[in-house]
Amino acid sequence: MASIADIRAFLLGFEGVSVHETSPDYFFFAGAEQKFPFATIVTHDDAYDSASALDREGVFRLNFPTDKATFAQLFPGITGRRDLEAASFDTQALDTLFPHPLYGRMRWVSVINPETSWPQCRRLLELARQMRELRPDSW
């Protein structure tokens, strides 16, 4: 399994990346401005997001944005908000990519405790970092 430390080290390996880690969660930014993250690691449930049951022992969720084509490739048939709302994804499954419980409509992807999905996640995180560099002021 890719640990939080492994993922953190991978993301900080990109040029110009900074991490905000004053809470139990981690927010990774391209550059010092820290406007919009290109990846997050969430380690606990809160009042706004408890869909992934992150209060389980040793569980965390990696989140990152994708572009439209990549999202469509990952989740065939999901072309808009209605499709996303009608679809059924297990947001508590380990090592399985799924649309982010809150930001899926903005093409954010999540995975809980990546293991066999970690090589795919690394490629998607590289894309997310490139996207943030090209569009620094948008999700």
Looking at the structure of the chain, the number of domains it has is 1
State how far the Cα of 50 lies from the Cα of 44, in Å rounded to an integer.
Answer: 8
- Contact assessment for residue 55 and residue 45, using Cβ atoms and an 8 Å cutoff: yes
Please check whether residue 39 lies inside any domain of the structure.
Answer: yes
Please check whether residue 48 lies inside any domain of the structure.
Answer: yes
State how far the Cα of 13 lies from the Cα of 19, in Å rounded to an integer.
Answer: 11
- Contact assessment for residue 25 and residue 44, using Cβ atoms and an 8 Å cutoff: yes
pLDDT per residue over 60-102, tens digit each? 999 999 999 999 999 999 988 999 999 999 999 999 999 999 9
Please check whether residue 35 lies inside any domain of the structure.
Answer: yes
Please check whether residue 139 lies inside any domain of the structure.
Answer: no
Please check whether residue 10 lies inside any domain of the structure.
Answer: yes
State how far the Cα of 37 lies from the Cα of 15, in Å rounded to an integer.
Answer: 14
* Residue 111 bridge partners (DSSP): 62
Q: Which one-letter amino acid corresponds to residue 91?
A: T
Please check whether residue 59 lies inside any domain of the structure.
Answer: yes
pTM above threshold 0.85:
yes
Please check whether residue 50 lies inside any domain of the structure.
Answer: yes
CATH number at residue 17: 3.90.1150.30
Structural domain of 13:
4-134
- Contact assessment for residue 51 and residue 44, using Cβ atoms and an 8 Å cutoff: no
**Residue 78 structure tokens:** 């999901």
Percent of the chain's residues with pLDDT above 70: 96
Please check whether residue 69 lies inside any domain of the structure.
Answer: yes
